[in-house]
Amino acid sequence: MIGAFHGAGNTLIPVIVSVISNATVRLGLGWTLGKYYGLGAIGLWTGMFLDVYVRGIVLYVLYRKRFERFIKILV
């Protein structure tokens, strides 16, 4: 999905989504699972795993909402 945004010439949206997702999901969820739920490294890896999917879903939703605008830019 990030490639679709880059191909359309929009790099700001993927950067914002990546920064927010890394700060909240990857670090926040990973740290919470690792420290408070006692999962250790498995909790950290789970946070990283879920970050990829959350970021993909958010970018997919943004892409679907702005699909016509991106097509006009590409064509």
pLDDT tens figures, 17-43: 999 999 998 999 999 999 999 899 999
Mean pLDDT of 5-22: 85
Residue with tokens 């679907």: 64
Q: What is the DSSP string of 13-55?
A: HHHHHHHHHIIIIIIIIHHIIIIISS-THHHHHHHHHHHHHHH
- Mean pLDDT rounded to a whole number for the chain: 85
Percent of the chain exceeding pLDDT 90 equals 48
pLDDT of residue 68: 66
Q: What is the pTM of this model?
A: 0.76
